[in-house]
Chain A
Amino acid sequence: MTYTILEREELAPEIYLLKLHAPEVASKSKPGQFIIIRIDENGERIPLTIADYNRDAGIITVVFMEIGKTTKQLAVLKSGDSLSDLVGPLGNPAHVPKNSVVVFVGGGVGITTVFPEAREFKKAGNTIISIIGARSENLLIWEDLVHSVSDKLYITTDDGTKGHHGFVTDVLTNILKEQGVDLVVAIGPVVMMRAVADVTKPFGVKTIVSLNPVMVDGTGMCGSCRVVVGGETRFTCVDGPEFDAHQVDFTLLMKRLTTYRDEEAVSLGKFMHEQDCDEKC
């Protein structure tokens, strides 16, 4: 079994989209779930959120940012190339509310996870307000798609190149002050999710976040993905990835995410060196 890359697109600097041929996985995917891929025999297993799926065409879409060795290697693959392994759908699908006003907050690549969820929530008859943010306008992705499934869309950039000059939490605070909100779903960098949790807590609005710890198997077998929620240890891959933001120990999550910082640097250094060599030699 191989998993072919059908399409590759650079959405923004260092942010890529891949459409992958995985009919069985596509047939079962639901918003909020993820896959784990391994590029080749020597590769590591990394989780990627399912940003979209097309059951008829047997395609799943993932979006990722170049950060470490594996994502950089993934970024240089072309359509027609294939991945040696792809497993999913993993994790629990997002719980879809009814008759609710839902604010989605998406940061960076997290915006692409917001999209299928917002679409599903909208289909179920909820009112969708979306806030999407990036460092700068050129890093803002999927604005149109998110717009198409939102009743209202707000944009923020850290540098003010588009929309509100500032953070997603500024806009969120205003919304919470002005109107009733039943649920907030925040997906993006851990600092953003934590900031959102801090903002919504005093308003007493239920808030869901999607966590992204280090994973290996994705089936509950290793415990690498453990997080603390409400004082209890949970495995993100099987108990999550979505949890009640007000219960999540974000500090622990951030610290655990640094576990392999040194090793990641070594791996990346080696890869960049080899890439250089490939070009020059």
Chain B
Amino acid sequence: MLVKRPEMPEQDPEKRIHNFDEVALGYTEEQATIEANRCLQCKKPQCIKGCPVEIEIPAFIKNIAERNFEASASELKRANTLPAICGRVCPQETQCEIECTLGKKGEPIAIGRLERFAADYELEKGVQIPEIPESTVYRVAVVGSGPASLTVAADLARIGHSVTILEALHEAGGVLIYGIPEFRLPKEIVRAEVDFIKKLGVEIKLNFVVGKLRSVDELLTEYDAVFLGSGAGLPSFLGIEGENLNGVYSANEFLTRVNLMKAYQFPDYDTPIKKGKHVVVVGAGNVAMDAARCALRLGAENVTIVYRRGEEEMTARIEEIQHAKDEGVHFKLLTNPTIIHGDENNWVKTVKCIKMRLGEPDESGRARPEPIPGTEHEIPADVAVIAIGTTPNPLIPSTTSDLQTIKRNIIPTDAECRTSKKGVFAGGDVVTGSATVISAMGAGKIAARAIDQYLQSLRFAETTSTLDC
């Protein structure tokens, strides 16, 4: 019995920091089959418990082991509409893989890598479009086109409801298209998944800002139900001096310029970005890793992650932290920025920081970082990226009647994704605050079921009212 998984073939760090091509190259058929054969096919599989969308993990792995790759992809798609994406970006190490029985003695099954393998195999072979039942009379508007929205849309379309996605940006995919960089999630993959959803009959209207072009109340006059999957797109800043200097970016701006607008191909693409030589990135989530690694690829000599807590507390996927380290990103942990200093032209010059130590746990249960007096120091920088989190945009709550929100424009829902407003459902980051692709998709699944039930209740109400007459 092998205790180790095959290594993931990767682009060499020396080379890859000069391009935006995908870093992890994916298992070959051989590697995938070898790894799939390590799976014990447990009678009581623990892995499934860790999966937010309850993929039949042993079943799809068994298909790979038996080289039925297409069947494996179909099995995945029964539970997960976007497996090629999840296989690349889910934090499997804290979800399914952490539960895997094999993990007790050696390495757990590389569930994520196998998921990616099967999904890519299917994409390459050409995706089967499932048969769609006759269309119902109901129309659903889905706001946003991130993973939550794509999932709701696909599930509702499969039942036969007519679904329209309304997306503010000029391309569909949400964070998958504007935030996560090409080298981690090729846009071609996102486009293929979006295409699949279009083929299910979902209409996508781009350049459509809900709250401006139509309010949610107006949408409810045209559609029978509305799903809000508008994400958590409003960037937070530190609130320290110097944050409005030239060269200080929110991670959202930095990544949007690079990914959505392709600023890394400037001037062939028109959108510019400042290519810093010395870049400081504040934060240690996936967003911070992505920004740091983009900065390297734009040609930075030094990229430093500054984070006020320690190694243990970093929230990025382990693989991404490792990738960042391999590529030469410096980590200054237990360090917090206090002031950003600029030069006479208003350009960032240095980021002044102070060392921190971990004190008593705070409300979140995590050790509270405290500054250590007398440890101030300056880090030279000509670009600084603030990646300390995002919150939902106030636009929709502020233009919708009777929609309850809680702190920072979070839209609360019950377990069925129902908001306080009749006919309006929500899921993903707009409900949870910044979370993960798979949790957004999980919410999308639940919401689709709840919306379908709601639409059926409308039908019931209609039939009873006709009976009344």
Q: Determine whether the beta carbon of B246 is less than 8 Å from that of A255.
A: yes
* Residues on the A chain within 8 Å of B209, using CB: 87-88, 90, 219
The 9 nearest A-B residue pairs measured at CB: A263-B272, A222-B253, A255-B346, A87-B207, A44-B270, A223-B250, A44-B271, A85-B170, A221-B233
B236 to chain A, nearest CB (A): 9
Q: Determine whether the beta carbon of A252 is less than 8 Å from that of B346.
A: yes
B234 at the interface (CB under 8 A from A): yes
Specify the chain A residue showing the minimal Cβ separation from B268: A42
Q: Is the interface of A mostly helix, strand, loop or mixed?
A: mixed
Interface centre among A38, A219, A238, A264 (most CB of B within 10 A): A219
B interface residue numbers (CB < 8 A to A): 168-170, 205-209, 212-213, 233-235, 237, 243-244, 246-247, 249-250, 252-253, 256-257, 261-262, 266-274, 345-346, 393-395
A1 at the interface (CB under 8 A from B): yes
Q: Determine whether the beta carbon of B345 is less than 8 Å from that of A84.
A: no
* Residues on the B chain within 8 Å of A45, using CB: 170, 261, 271
Task: Report the Cα distance A216→B262, complex, angstroms.
Answer: 12
Specify the chain A residue showing the minimal Cβ separation from B215: A28
Task: Report the Cα distance A89→B395, complex, angstroms.
Answer: 13
25 examples of A-B residue contacts, CB within 8 angstroms: A1-B205, A25-B213, A42-B268, A44-B269, A85-B170, A85-B206, A86-B207, A87-B209, A216-B271, A219-B168, A220-B233, A220-B394, A221-B393, A222-B252, A223-B237, A223-B249, A223-B253, A228-B244, A233-B243, A238-B393, A238-B395, A255-B345, A258-B345, A259-B247, A267-B272
Task: Report the Cα distance A186→B206, complex, angstroms.
Answer: 33
A256 at the interface (CB under 8 A from B): yes
A226 at the interface (CB under 8 A from B): yes
Specify the chain A residue showing the minimal Cβ separation from B275: A263
* Residues on the B chain within 8 Å of A222, using CB: 235, 250, 252-253, 256
* Residues on the B chain within 8 Å of A1, using CB: 205-207
Task: Report the Cα distance A86→B209, complex, angstroms.
Answer: 11
Known: A87-B170, A219-B395, A258-B246. A233 touches B237 (CB 8 A): yes
B43 to chain A, nearest CB (A): 48
Known: A88-B212, A223-B253. A252 touches B244 (CB 8 A): yes
Q: Determine whether the beta carbon of A221 is less than 8 Å from that of B235.
A: yes
* Residues on the A chain within 8 Å of B212, using CB: 28, 88-90
A204 at the interface (CB under 8 A from B): no
Specify the chain A residue showing the minimal Cβ separation from B247: A259
B142 to chain A, nearest CB (A): 17
* Residues on the A chain within 8 Å of B246, using CB: 255-256, 258-259
17 new A-B pairs (CB below 8 Å) besides A44-B272, A219-B209, A222-B250?
A28-B213, A85-B206, A87-B170, A87-B208, A90-B209, A216-B256, A219-B233, A221-B233, A221-B256, A222-B256, A223-B235, A223-B249, A255-B246, A266-B266, A266-B267, A267-B270, A270-B267
Partner of A264, one of B168, B249, B272, B395: B272
* Residues on the A chain within 8 Å of B207, using CB: 1, 85-87
Partner of B261, one of A216, A255, A258: A216
Q: Determine whether the beta carbon of B261 is less than 8 Å from that of A233.
A: no
Partner of B169, one of A217, A258, A263: A217
Q: Determine whether the beta carbon of A84 is less than 8 Å from that of B244.
A: no
* Residues on the B chain within 8 Å of A266, using CB: 266-267
* Residues on the A chain within 8 Å of B243, using CB: 233
Task: Report the Cα distance A104→B259, complex, angstroms.
Answer: 41
